[in-house]
A and B are shown apart, each in its own frame.
Chain A
Amino acid sequence: MSIQTETTTDTAPYVGRPVERLDGPAKVSGQARFAAENHYPDMAYAALVHATIARGRIAAIDTAAACAVPDVIAVLTHENAPAMIPAPKLSLLDLSTVASATSVNYLATDEVHWNGQPVAVVVAETWETARHAASLVDLSYEELPAVVDFAAEAPNAVPERSMPLMPSKADKGKAAQALADAPFSVDLQFSTPPHNHNAIEPHATTAVWDGDQLTLHEPAQNIPWLRKHLAKRFGIPEEAVRIISPFVGGAFGGKSRAWPGVLIAAMAARATGRPVRLALTRAGVYHTVGGRTPSTQRVALGADAQGKLTALIHTSVSRTGRVGGMAEPITAASRHLYAVPNIHLSQRSVELDLLSNTFMRAPGEAIGTFALESAVDELAWRMGMDPIALRMLNEPDRDPAGGQRFTHRMLREAYTRGAENFGWHQRDPRAGARRDGPWLVGMGVATAYHPSMRMPASVTLRLHADGTVVMRCGMHEMGMGSATVQAQIVADEMGVPLASVHVEYGDSDLPPSAGAIGSVQTASVAAGVIAASTMLKRSLLTLARRAPGSPLRGRKLEDLQARDSGLHHPDGGQTYAEILSAAGRDHLEAAFKPSMLGFVARMAIDSRRWVTGASGAQFCEVRVNADTGEIRVSRWLGVFDVGTVINPRTAASQLRGGIIMGIGAALSEQTLIDGRTGRIMNPSLSEYHVPVHADIPHIDVDWLNEPDPTTPLGMHGIGEVGITGVAAAVANAIRHATGKRVVDLPITLDKLL
């Protein structure tokens, strides 16, 4: 993907300005081309057949009726499909192994490991034919006992290994004793259901083989991981895999690993010798792409008579699939939020015969903060304290679990500003005190928190003699405005007009980016841009100093300013065009390639020195119908400490998006799994209720805009912090409106009647 910035007479600095999205015109005119919209002559269509049992073996598979349908090209099953190389096991030495979504070798085994596992694929001349023929594949099974009921299995949970780089456990002091001794305490059990991402673009692959070269049009959140994974599975060099992914129609974690669709599409294309498009149905996405784990959680808090916390216990049970999945850091935020001398945090999990769980927006923190922040609110009720005052009183100076200092911590400021702007002081502290006709009105708050991380990202900058700068990085655009914000940073670093910056992204032919996961991409790529800019300016200075008569002779880069498309000193400077022209060059390039090893070492050292995170204060007002229990979110304000905001326009949208997904989790979203069959009962947008227009009021977002001293340009990633704390703020507002504490998500009206 290549986008040229719109013509503008603006000048630097661009960072901090609400620049309109550079891909906006393409997206509002239908010109943005998504993965399923690339056509090839001779292209065939594929449709999956899904298992209808949770565990067992395929006893017989009859494809005769499907094969007899005119225009069917192939029906591939475990009896005739070419076997892929098994998925690599997770290894910290090679993070691309995280892309192994399950351990199942699809269509190479008669074993069924979850209800919905793909067991055959039909390739046909048209989508309609493929889908119809898929419905004719006849399977019989030898069923085996399956364990699929999370609630029933939760008591058998075993201790869980933390997710790499994301610690969630802690033990400090004597939490149980301190809780027993505390004059004030709460001890609550919570539950949260499974969630699915439901990006509006279903996963869709267009796979084309040319000999042993594989080209894929695929919506991907992590091109380098997927590329490496595919190369291993098909036994070809990494360079033989090309992934083209300029636009991703939403992802939220769901497009960060190699789920069955992309693998079977590539396999089917190789087996049939035809370009193949496999676009999953909405139900197909539910059946083949994992989602957020359900959880049960316990949060117990003890406090002294003044409200100083003395004990914090947060434990969780979640699930993985027997064939894959990982710990989600449910108790991780509890490491960082409150100054407590006695802390116990631990996670357990069960393995079920279900599809692997996976990253979904703020995995762990989204649901962990629901429990923690609901419990803090409940403690405030028990003590008759204002919930903001209770939080202010317990705001830590250093990380409570690890003892490190914070690089940046402004939660007090966020609460102060939020309380003022939301009208918190007008809140009657009594429950159910405010009524407007049939509506009970309540206000609640909760803290948002997400760790701030970075991963290595390679960036190439090429300066042309006409003054344009081309930035090349295989980063991902799922709606964050990636190209726009990086173009702003390039323009500032190089001192060129925004219109002179071209950004190329979304392609494995470009230098590898960090994945768009864990809120790391923007800061990671920005670090690459800054490094590449410095290299490029240094090269330019070297060129200039060689030229006789250059006003830059004898100058050091540190003494120069990059502005007006050149390097300048108060005593004179040169434009880039002049430098290149004098040197007889038509372009100059700088390529920054970070070393993974050095990066990991640095991260390990930093994590011992300090703790870095994005945080915020979520303010919610709800109206609850006293007769029907109907709940409407009527006002929202989120005040965030996310460091420097690069682009207020796109940042506001991303924070709002997180809050809205959190409102969905609070009030309506749940994936229903049949406890007998392990089958998802609501695999559709009509029965899994994501928020619609009518559910969402104006969402006010604000930020403190104070740079973090340890991050590129002082920024934090903002993709996930927005969802954290949201469900708790809603639950706490409902508690205020009705007097009822609901501990099970989603908070549907039946729980209030």
Chain B
Amino acid sequence: MTLIRMNVNGSAKSLEIEPRVSLLDALRERLGVTGPKKGCDQGACGACTVLADGRRINACLALAIQYDGCQITTIEGVDHPLQEAFVRHDGFQCGYCTPGQICSAIGMLSEYEAGMPSAVTDSGGLGEAEIRERMSGNVCRCGAYNGIVGAIMDVAGSDAR
């Protein structure tokens, strides 16, 4: 057992935890923070996406002990115009991938602003193709992709950042 401390959604948490426990299981099963979802437990679907010190990560592929001292933001700690935009654009149906989509989109927008390129980056700005490429790690089986891209375009376009 290892004692770790994390700041989760603004509140300090300490946990006695085995090294094999994933960050996702630590959040969901130990801390009762169930916003991040388990869809595959192998980094293939993105439903577990959280922000660790502002960067998007798959919490299922992260061991909790690696995040000792980190600031973790899950959907419960998000207060962002994207959330309202997802409702307006109907960017979900069942809602299971939604927390991951939103956290991923927030991380993606910061990556884009920091000048990180993607496989389709050209000088054309943050268009639909760029968003689709950068969001392709987040699977939505209900097929709400159009609404998700619309919500992100809406927020990224209207945001002065």
Q: Are B38 and A479 in contact (CB under 8 A)?
A: no
Q: Contacts of B102 on A, CB cut-off 8 Å?
A: 28
B3 interface hit (Cβ, 8 Å): no
CB of A718 to closest CB in B, whole Å:
12
Q: How far is the CA of A460 from the CA of B57 in the complex (A)?
A: 45
Q: Are A39 and B42 in contact (CB under 8 A)?
A: no
Q: Are B93 and A480 in contact (CB under 8 A)?
A: yes
Q: Interface on chain B toward A: helix, strand, loop, or mixed SS?
A: loop
Q: Pick the interface stretch among A162-170, A247-255, A296-304.
A: A247-255
Q: Are B96 and A250 in contact (CB under 8 A)?
A: yes
Which one of B40, B42, B131, B142 contacts A693 once the chains associate, using CB atoms below 8 Å? B131
How many interface residues does chain B have, given as a range? 35 or more
Q: How far is the CA of A110 from the CA of B130 in the complex (A)?
A: 54
Q: Are A692 and B136 in contact (CB under 8 A)?
A: yes
Q: Are B96 and A201 in contact (CB under 8 A)?
A: yes
Q: How far is the CA of A27 from the CA of B147 in the complex (A)?
A: 14
Q: Are B90 and A200 in contact (CB under 8 A)?
A: no
> Assuming the A-B contacts A250-B141, A657-B143, are A200 and B37 also in contact, with contact meaning beta carbons closer than 8 angstroms in the complex?
yes
> Assuming the A-B contacts A479-B92, A693-B136, are A30 and B74 also in contact, with contact meaning beta carbons closer than 8 angstroms in the complex?
yes
B109 interface hit (Cβ, 8 Å): no
B94 interface hit (Cβ, 8 Å): yes
Q: Are A684 and B90 in contact (CB under 8 A)?
A: no
CB of B39 to closest CB in A, whole Å:
4
Q: How far is the CA of A285 from the CA of B84 in the complex (A)?
A: 33
> Assuming the A-B contacts A28-B102, A249-B96, A686-B42, are A698 and B90 also in contact, with contact meaning beta carbons closer than 8 angstroms in the complex?
no
CB of A475 to closest CB in B, whole Å:
14
Quick one: closest B residue to A27, CB to CB? B95
CB of A209 to closest CB in B, whole Å:
21
Q: How far is the CA of A699 from the CA of B147 in the complex (A)?
A: 10
CB of B82 to closest CB in A, whole Å:
8
B146 interface hit (Cβ, 8 Å): yes
Quick one: closest B residue to A129, CB to CB? B18
Q: Are B143 and A252 in contact (CB under 8 A)?
A: no
Quick one: closest B residue to A33, CB to CB? B34
Quick one: closest A residue to B134, CB to CB? A693
Q: Contacts of A693 on B, CB cut-off 8 Å?
A: 131-133, 135-136, 138, 145, 148-149
> Assuming the A-B contacts A30-B76, A200-B39, A653-B142, are A684 and B44 also in contact, with contact meaning beta carbons closer than 8 angstroms in the complex?
yes
Q: Are A696 and B143 in contact (CB under 8 A)?
A: yes
Q: Contacts of B5 on A, CB cut-off 8 Å?
A: none
Which one of A249, A251, A653 contacts B37 once the chains associate, using CB atoms below 8 Å? A249
Q: Contacts of A23 on B, CB cut-off 8 Å?
A: 95
Q: Are A198 and B94 in contact (CB under 8 A)?
A: no
* Contact pattern, B 41-55, Cβ under 8 Å of A = 1, otherwise 0: 111110100000000
A660 interface hit (Cβ, 8 Å): yes
B126 interface hit (Cβ, 8 Å): no
* Contact pattern, A 538-572, Cβ under 8 Å of B = 1, otherwise 0: 00000000000000000000000000000000000
Q: Are A653 and B90 in contact (CB under 8 A)?
A: yes
Quick one: closest A residue to B91, CB to CB? A28
Q: Contacts of B59 on A, CB cut-off 8 Å?
A: none
Q: Are B149 and A279 in contact (CB under 8 A)?
A: no
Q: Contacts of B20 on A, CB cut-off 8 Å?
A: 128
CB of A479 to closest CB in B, whole Å:
3
> Assuming the A-B contacts A29-B76, A201-B96, A656-B146, are A690 and B40 also in contact, with contact meaning beta carbons closer than 8 angstroms in the complex?
no
Q: Are B44 and A686 in contact (CB under 8 A)?
A: yes
Q: Contacts of A26 on B, CB cut-off 8 Å?
A: 95
Quick one: closest B residue to A25, CB to CB? B87
Which one of B40, B140, B148 contacts A684 once the chains associate, using CB atoms below 8 Å? B40
A618 interface hit (Cβ, 8 Å): no
Quick one: closest B residue to A277, CB to CB? B29
A753 interface hit (Cβ, 8 Å): no
> Assuming the A-B contacts A25-B87, A28-B83, A128-B20, are A202 and B39 also in contact, with contact meaning beta carbons closer than 8 angstroms in the complex?
yes
Q: Are A696 and B38 in contact (CB under 8 A)?
A: no
* Contact pattern, A 669-702, Cβ under 8 Å of B = 1, otherwise 0: 0000000000000001110001111101011000
* Contact pattern, B 103-119, Cβ under 8 Å of A = 1, otherwise 0: 00000000000000000
CB of A109 to closest CB in B, whole Å:
29
Q: How far is the CA of A200 from the CA of B141 in the complex (A)?
A: 6
Q: How far is the CA of A587 from the CA of B69 in the complex (A)?
A: 55
Q: Are B99 and A30 in contact (CB under 8 A)?
A: yes
Q: Are A656 and B143 in contact (CB under 8 A)?
A: yes
A127 interface hit (Cβ, 8 Å): yes
Q: How far is the CA of A71 from the CA of B98 in the complex (A)?
A: 34
Q: Are B143 and A691 in contact (CB under 8 A)?
A: yes
CB of A10 to closest CB in B, whole Å:
16
Q: How far is the CA of A336 from the CA of B147 in the complex (A)?
A: 34
* Contact pattern, B 64-91, Cβ under 8 Å of A = 1, otherwise 0: 0000000000111010000110111010
A94 interface hit (Cβ, 8 Å): no
Q: Contacts of A21 on B, CB cut-off 8 Å?
A: 87, 90
CB of B81 to closest CB in A, whole Å:
11
Q: Are B28 and A34 in contact (CB under 8 A)?
A: no
Q: Contacts of A690 on B, CB cut-off 8 Å?
A: 139, 141
Q: Contacts of A36 on B, CB cut-off 8 Å?
A: 28, 34, 38
> Assuming the A-B contacts A20-B88, A200-B45, A694-B136, are A250 and B94 also in contact, with contact meaning beta carbons closer than 8 angstroms in the complex?
yes
Q: Are B146 and A694 in contact (CB under 8 A)?
A: no
A431 interface hit (Cβ, 8 Å): no
4 tightest A-B contacts by CB?
A: A30-B35, A479-B93, A249-B96, A27-B95
Residues of chain A touching chain B, judged by Cβ–Cβ distance below 8 Å, are 20-21, 23-34, 36-37, 39, 126-128, 197-202, 247-252, 279, 281-282, 478-481, 649-650, 652-654, 656-661, 684-686, 690-694, 696, 698-699
13 A-B residue pairs with CB within 8 Å: A24-B92, A28-B95, A30-B76, A127-B25, A198-B141, A200-B139, A249-B37, A250-B141, A478-B94, A479-B92, A479-B94, A661-B141, A691-B145
Give me 10 other A-B pairs in contact (C-beta within 8 A), A28-B98, A694-B132 excluded. A25-B83, A28-B84, A29-B78, A30-B76, A126-B18, A201-B39, A657-B144, A684-B44, A685-B44, A696-B146
